[in-house]
Each structure stands twice: as C-alpha cells, then as structure tokens.
Structure 1
Amino acid sequence: MRKNKYAAIAATVAALLLVTGCGSGGGSGKAESVNPKGDIKPREISWLLSRPADGGVIKAMKQISKDYSKEHPGFSLKLITTPDRPSYIQKLETLAAANKLPDLFDIDATPFAQKLAKKGSMVNVEKMLKDMKIYDNYRTSALDYQRFDDGSLYMVPFESQIEVFFYNKVLFKKAGINIPKTLDDFPAMCTALQKSGSTPIALNGKDMWPLERYMAFYPFRASGNEFIKNLKKGNAKLSNAEGRKAVEWMANLGKSQCFQQGFSSTEYADAQALFTSGKAAVYNDGSWELPALATSKLNPEVRDDIDYFLLPTTPGSKTTENEYAAPSGIGMAINAKTYDPLVRDFIKYSLTKYSKIYADTGQITPMKSSTAKIPSDATPLYKRNFDDADKVGKVTLMPWDTQLDSTSNTRLQQELPLLVQGDISVDKFINTMDKVIQENGPKAFKDLN
C-alpha cells in the first residue's frame, strides 16, 4: 500500500510538473549561463541531499563549506538530509511542482530529471565544468553514469565506485564449489550452499534496489544497456527472448533459495551482518563498503575468509568481465533559477578541494587528480578493489531504478519479491510488467529525445 502511495504521488507531481514548468525560473537560456556576471554576495545556500549523514561526501563538503565561509563571511551551506530514498523523491518532486527547488539538489538521471533539465531548471554541468577548466579531471565512467540517454550531463558526481560479489571462501570450500563462471551457475551455487548449511546470498530487500540490480544483470550481459533503454520507452518487452531469459533467471534464483528467508523485509545493516557473521556466503555490494568489509572493522573470525569476484558473464555475452556496475552515486543538480556568482564560485571552490579530501577518507574519488588513501589496517582486497576500478571497461551497467519511469519502477519493485518467492509465475510477472511499462514508459519519455 505504501508503495502504491508513492506511485500515486509521483503521478500527481508529474501532472503538476507540466502545469508549473517545474520551477524553471529563468528558463532554458539561464540554464546555459554557466558563468553569471556580477559580484559574489555571501548568503546561505541550501542543498537537498539523499546521502548518509555520516558518509564521506557530506563530511568532505561540511569541511569545505566551513573553509569557504572563513573566506566569505556571511556564507553558509544548509544541508537538508533525507536518507530514505522514497521520502526523498517525494520531497524533491513536491518542491519541483511548487517551483521551490533549493540551490542544489540530489537527483539520478531519471526521466523526471531529464524533464527538469529540458525545461531549463538545471544548469548544464558539462558546460559548467568545462568553463571551470576541471571537466578533463573527471573519470569518464563517473561522468557517464550521470548522463541522460542523449549524452547530456546535468549532474555533478561525488563518488566513483564498483560493485562486486563479496564471498566467503571457507563456506564455498565447505559446499565444494568454486566461484560461478557464468550467471547460469548461480542456481547450482545456491543449491550447494543451502545443502552445506549456509545462506547462499545475503540481500538487503527492504531498500528494493538491490534485488532490482539482480534483475539488470542478465540483460546487461546480453546487450549492454540497450535492452533497458528500449524497454523503458516501450520499444522492447520482457516477453521478448532477452527479457524472458532475465525473468526466468530471477525465478530460478528463488527456486534455488538463493536469498535468506524474509529477505524482502531485511534492512541494509542486517543483510551485511548476515554476511560478516559468516552465516551467508555471498554479498553483492560496492566499494563504498570497503572500510567495513576490508579492514580490521570486519569480524576477525571471517576476515581472512573474505574475497570477491566480479559480475560473471553469460554465454554469448556482449559485455566483458571488466564491464559491470560502476556507479558514481546520486548526482548533484544545480538550480538554474538561483544560480548566481556565489553558487558558481562555491561549486568551483568545492570541486577544486574535494578530490583530495574525499580520497583521504579511503574512497575512490570521481576525479583523476587524487589517489584514494588505503587504511593501514586494510586487507589485500582494499587495494585490489581500487586496481579493478581503474580497469573498468567502456560500458557500465545502468541501474534500472534510475532508468524506468517512477510508476513502472515502483511496480517492478513490488513484483520482483513475489516472483522470487514463487508467489507469481514467470508469465504473470511478464504480463503485468509489460502492461505497466507500455502504459507509462512512452508517456514519461515523450519529447525528451
């Protein structure tokens, strides 16, 4: 019921969006003014965020804004943090409909974001970064993750990550198995781990996107991001051979009891604890969790047992082993209506300082100018993960939750647990989702490309 509420809110906001113009303020002309003229007049600027309050990004930006305020008395950065993603999206879309977007706001490269950009509500980040002479300092993969289908860039990345499958070598040995060579090996892997007394895969089901990530794996191996690009616009269906294969694979994960009992209500911390306690054998997560999974913070009883493998390929895979999910996190958009010399100066100041500060937290920076600092208590996985991040290929997996329209995405997240739990059949899942996407996808992307 709660998810249906968000879908209804999104639909209402979308309608309001068309009426209000999404708070475009100065219009598309202003969105192109990446170097506004005038004096820098210190004031409070606000940033609506959807990030962990104790995370490296916020810590770095707090330090930077404090330093900036010393040089510009009267300046302050107000951080409005809403870590819960559904609540955040609701707040963001409501503010957009009311023409009250803050100076800065977090947003993914969704159809909603693309409409905001098209209406002139967001500053063209590629032009801005080039004007600031810092565009070439960014990792290509970090920028590409933030782009719309037409290649335009309206969000600033603050992270650069890779997603891998952490696994327990001892539990694999106990089950008599090796790491899977292809995605088709997952069901057999799960069955063997179940028989040996282990939970095969720990999953954070409550946040919904982790299970949706699994749904994206098979199509990505089959055709890169082409399938989801076509599916979301109604130009492909899950009933097509490629889509059906993905749905059948997800159903087989459920039949093989790959995920822990009650996975759909398991929170992030609990899923991770299931893995770090040695009860679960596999845990799909990103390099943002290296401080917890590859240092002395990790349970000493399993610390030497943990390794990881990259997303396996499939027979006839169109993408390679070094092409997989490499997100740069939720991006930061800049309100074109309130973009003035102060906002521009603060952003340039921040991005000039950010790379070194963030790298010192032990995280991969989206910029090439700083190397992440490896903690003194890190296990060998830490450096290996960084090395793999530098070898990421040209094509990286685009998460489906940033690609589908909000209504289709909400329904997909509702239906996936039912499919994996065996509560609905493959055919019913396909019929339901094809109908929802065909009805909502084309409308969401109308006039965007």
Structure 2
Amino acid sequence: MRRPFAAAVMTLALCLVASLAGCGTKSEGVSAGDVDPVGAVEPREISWLLSRPADGAVIKVMRELADEYAAAHPGFKLRFITTPDRPSYIQKYETLAAADKLPELFDTDATPFARKLARQGRMMDASKLLRSLGLYDSYRPAALDYQRFDDGSLYMIPFEYQGEFFWYNKALFRDAGVRVPKSLDDFPAMCRVLRRSGVTPIALDGQDQWPLERYAAYHPFRTAGPQYVRQLKQGKAKFSDPPGRASAEWLAELGKAGCFQKGFSSVGYADAQNLFTSGRAAVYNIGTWELRSLATSALDAKVRGDVDFFRLPVTRDAVTGANEFVTPSGIGMAVNSRTYDPLVRDFLKFALTRYPARYAAAGELSPTSDAKTVLPDDATPLYARAVAAAGDVGHDITVPWDTQLDPTSNTKFQQELVLLVQGDVSPGSFVSTMDSVIRRNAPRYAR
C-alpha cells in the first residue's frame, strides 16, 4: 500500500530537482565559515525548503518580512517550498541533497544525515553567521543547544521555542483521589487509580509515533542524562544497559496499568487532544505550541478552569534537575554554502533582526530572550505561567530520539515501542531486538 505513495513523493522530489536546477546564484559558493562574503547585494529569487505548517506563525512572519525586503530591493523574492508532512519532506530534502540541488535555505533537524552535509561543508556555520550579524547572544541557550550536533557545532538557526509539559485535569485528579506524580515511577499507580475512576489516564497521539517515543526518552534522560542517546546511536551504549532496560520496563508497566487510551496506536493528533480537552482524559503530554488550545477561551468552559500542568517528573536516582526537560526549538533552518552570497546574508540580517519581536507579538515564544511573548486577549492565567515555566530551564535538555537515531533504527524503534506498550513483546525481547538493529545500522551513520 505504501509503494504508490513513495513513488509519488519521489516523482515530486525529482520534479523539484529539475525546477530548482535554475534557481540560486551562479557562484560556486563559499566555505562554511566564510559568513561575510565580499560583493554587491544583487536581488534575485531565493528559495526556502520547509517542513512547517503553511498557515503557522513562522511562515506568516517570514513571508511578511520577505515582502518588506522585496519592497526595498526590487527583483528579490523568497519562494517557500512547503511540505508539512515530515516523512514526505525528509524524502524530498534528501533527494535534493543527493542531487546537489538544495536551495539557499532548507529545514533540517540535527540528524545523522544533516551532520554528513555539514562535514561536507555544504551548510554555513550558523554560530559564526549569527555572531557576525550581532545576534548570537540574544538567542536562548536552550534554543541553540537543541539545534547543535553532538560535538557542539551549530549549523541550524531556530525559529521557535517551546516547553513540553504534562497538562492535567485537576477535577479528574481530585475526583479520583490522585496527586501530581513526584516521580516517573509514580505513573503506573496514578494510571490504575484514574482508570478505575472511569477516565482515560493519558491521552496519546499514537498514530504519529513521536509522542510515544518521547516517553521512551524520559527515564534514560533522568537516570543517565542526555549523553545516553548520543552514545546509543553511535553503538557505544546499548538498550540492555541499565538506562535502556529501565526505560523498557517502565514503558511495559505503563501499558499494563492501562495508561493510554484503548487502540492508542491508531489515534491521531486531533483526536488525542480532543480526548483531553473534552474532559475524558486526565493527562496530555504536549508542548506550548498548543497554548491557544489549552490556555485561552478556545478551550471548553466546562474544563477551562481545571486545566493545569506539571513538568517532567524526576526519578529517585535522577542525574538531571526538575527544571531540565523537553525544550525544543523546532526544526532548524540551514543555509546552503553552495549558494551563499551577499544577498543571502543581507536578507538574513534583515529578517532575523526583526523576526523575534514579530513572532512574539503573535503570542508565540521567541527563540531569543529579548522578545517578550504578547499574551492573547483571551488568554487564561495559565498561558503566562506556561510561558514563564518554559523559560526557567537548566543546562541539560531532553532531545527527541527521532532526530537522533538513524532512520532504519528509528523506524524499528517506533514499531517495537507500540508492541512493548501493548504487551505483545516483553522488555527483554524489546531490548534484544533494538540492540541488534542499532548494531547493524548505527555504524553507517556514525561515519
């Protein structure tokens, strides 16, 4: 069933290769660190390959800024090539990269594939670029750290910032007689009590797979820190090591306790959210990108006053702090060194200087610390509290594993996670399978 879809995506990607062949500058490019090229600013059309919602604040603000720049630089145009569906985007992005036809700007996570491009000198050094523009120090450290490769190098520029929390219904907790968990190890017991009270303990978007992968990352992050997944993807650590085995056992316990809704693996994003916002689920793990749905008058008045949040709980032997949790800055934007020239630099300086204030004015959390979020007129007090909590972060952050593991291992990981939580495989079998998969695939991406 997947072959026609894959063929269609490949066809589209090849068409893009052809259409982009004439785009960009005739220059042979610059080195990754040559962030201030000499020459005149000559307006032309440049392109940005994106994986973001077409109606989202990032594209809306950048489109406005591009139009303003074009008004002062006749002949300039920023072309947005948008593919919000992430799997389709990745295939398109990697196809264009293989053909050496990536446009001036393109979205990417700090994946093994992106690291290869950086090592080949095909992406501008974002740290040097932001410093040369006088903007580096204004960015939140957590926003930049999310975009870094394991060696600390920075090749992607963040356009957003989020905090991920466990949103919960105080009334459902009160009626069931449960308290906010102090430890991750309290989750199974919490779920059993909530399930007995007649509600779904935790709403989960299982269809998109990454939300369950978040849960898999939590226990190792608390007990071993962020370095565990870095070593895991390189084959220097194993799932059979204590952090990985503890995670597998915890996930199996969540399944046995009935933490997630029945049939969770086929439930999509909107349905999972509705389960919580309608008062039928007690907990929902999601980021501040959903603040308008959770902390404004858009939320049903029947549950609006009962919604609150707590941060990622610790464990008894935690090595990370309570204020260290998932604080993503979204997919980053890379700058193609092959097409970088004075125009690209000049436009980026214009746009990135103005972007934070415009983005924050839309009620969003800016990736910089110098732009204060403007609360919507219909925001509840929870909105401001969540914004403040997202800014109160420590040094270590939880990095989503889907951006860390190689594609083959990650696909198998997602499949096995569902089986583990459903009770179809044991923790021991899960650990053994994943160690075997990573041992076979990780070396190719670690090079």
Q: Do they superpose with TM above 0.5?
A: yes
Q: CA deviation at 1:376?
A: 2.0
Q: Distance in 2 between the 1:71 and 1:267 partners?
A: 44
CA RMSD of aligned residues (A): 1.8
Q: CA deviation at 1:380?
A: 1.3
User: More deviation in 177-186 or 370-379?
Assistant: 370-379
Q: CA deviation at 1:28?
A: 9.4
Conserved in 1, the CA contact under 8 Å of 2:147 and 2:332?
Answer: yes
Q: Distance in 1 between the 2:265 and 2:337 partners?
A: 39
SS at match of 1:302: helix
Q: CA deviation at 1:330?
A: 0.5
Q: Distance in 2 between the 1:394 and 1:306 partners?
A: 28
Mark the CA change 1:51 to 1:94 in structure 2 (over 3 Å): closer, same or farther: same
SS at match of 1:339: coil
Q: CA deviation at 1:29?
A: 5.6
Q: CA deviation at 1:32?
A: 1.8
Equivalent position of 1:55 in the other structure: 56
SS at match of 2:53: coil
Q: Deviations over 1:294-321 (max 9, x none)?
A: 0001111100010000000000100011
TM-score scaled by length of structure 2:
0.93
Conserved in 2, the CA contact under 8 Å of 1:311 and 1:324?
Answer: yes
Letter in 2 for 1:67: E
SS at match of 1:435: helix
Equivalent position of 2:359 in the other structure: 358
Conserved in 2, the CA contact under 8 Å of 1:28 and 1:119?
Answer: no
Conserved in 2, the CA contact under 8 Å of 1:295 and 1:379?
Answer: yes
SS at match of 2:206: coil
Q: Distance in 2 between the 1:42 and 1:220 partners?
A: 47
Equivalent position of 1:302 in the other structure: 303
SS at match of 1:301: helix
Equivalent position of 2:328 in the other structure: 327
Q: Distance in 2 between the 1:28 and 1:198 partners?
A: 58
Conserved in 2, the CA contact under 8 Å of 1:27 and 1:121?
Answer: no
Q: Distance in 2 between the 1:441 and 1:141 partners?
A: 27
Conserved in 2, the CA contact under 8 Å of 1:28 and 1:120?
Answer: no
Letter in 1 for 2:144: L
Q: Distance in 1 between the 2:216 and 2:441 partners?
A: 20
Conserved in 1, the CA contact under 8 Å of 2:199 and 2:282?
Answer: yes
Q: CA deviation at 1:174?
A: 1.4
Equivalent position of 2:290 in the other structure: 289
Equivalent position of 1:348 in the other structure: 349
Q: Distance in 2 between the 1:343 and 1:201 partners?
A: 46
Q: Distance in 1 between the 2:72 and 2:267 partners?
A: 46
Conserved in 2, the CA contact under 8 Å of 1:205 and 1:264?
Answer: yes
Q: Distance in 1 between the 2:315 and 2:98 partners?
A: 43
Mark the CA change 1:160 to 1:29 in structure 2 (over 3 Å): closer, same or farther: same
Mark the CA change 1:221 to 1:27 in structure 2 (over 3 Å): closer, same or farther: farther
Equivalent position of 1:431 in the other structure: 432
Conserved in 1, the CA contact under 8 Å of 2:249 and 2:427?
Answer: yes
Mark the CA change 1:108 to 1:27 in structure 2 (over 3 Å): closer, same or farther: farther
Q: Distance in 2 between the 1:423 and 1:90 partners?
A: 31
Conserved in 2, the CA contact under 8 Å of 1:27 and 1:119?
Answer: no
SS at match of 2:305: helix
1:252-401 matches, within 5 Å, as 252-401=253-402
SS at match of 2:283: strand
Equivalent position of 1:36 in the other structure: 37
Equivalent position of 2:188 in the other structure: 187
In the alignment, structure 1 residue 444 sits paired with structure 2 residue 445: yes
Mark the CA change 1:258 to 1:2 in structure 2 (over 3 Å): closer, same or farther: farther
> Percent of aligned pairs with the same residue?
58
Letter in 2 for 1:435: S
Conserved in 2, the CA contact under 8 Å of 1:28 and 1:118?
Answer: no
Equivalent position of 2:109 in the other structure: 108
Q: CA deviation at 1:26?
A: 8.2
Conserved in 1, the CA contact under 8 Å of 2:165 and 2:311?
Answer: yes
Q: Distance in 2 between the 1:149 and 1:162 partners?
A: 21
Letter in 2 for 1:175: A
Q: CA deviation at 1:355?
A: 0.7
Letter in 1 for 2:411: T
SS at match of 1:31: coil
Q: Distance in 2 between the 1:222 and 1:328 partners?
A: 24
Conserved in 2, the CA contact under 8 Å of 1:227 and 1:236?
Answer: yes
1:188-267 matches, within 5 Å, as 188-267=189-268
Q: CA deviation at 1:113?
A: 0.5
Q: Deviations over 1:386-419 (max 9, x none)?
A: 1112210111111111111111111111111111
Q: Distance in 2 between the 1:445 and 1:26 partners?
A: 31
In the alignment, structure 1 residue 173 sits paired with structure 2 residue 174: yes
Q: CA deviation at 1:35?
A: 1.1
Conserved in 2, the CA contact under 8 Å of 1:146 and 1:155?
Answer: yes
Q: Deviations over 1:272-295 (max 9, x none)?
A: 111101111100011111111100
Letter in 2 for 1:198: V
User: More deviation in 259-268 or 305-314?
Assistant: 259-268
Q: Distance in 2 between the 1:308 and 1:262 partners?
A: 25
In the alignment, structure 1 residue 118 sits paired with structure 2 residue 93: no
Q: Distance in 1 between the 2:141 and 2:78 partners?
A: 29
Task: Work out the number of aligned pairs and report it.
Answer: 430
Q: Distance in 2 between the 1:425 and 1:71 partners?
A: 63
Q: CA deviation at 1:2?
A: 4.7
Letter in 2 for 1:305: D
Q: Deviations over 1:317-355 (max 9, x none)?
A: 000110000011100001111111111111111101101
Letter in 1 for 2:255: G
Conserved in 1, the CA contact under 8 Å of 2:29 and 2:338?
Answer: no
User: More deviation in 301-310 or 375-384?
Assistant: 375-384
Q: CA deviation at 1:362?
A: 0.6
Letter in 1 for 2:48: W
SS at match of 2:211: helix
Conserved in 1, the CA contact under 8 Å of 2:30 and 2:340?
Answer: no
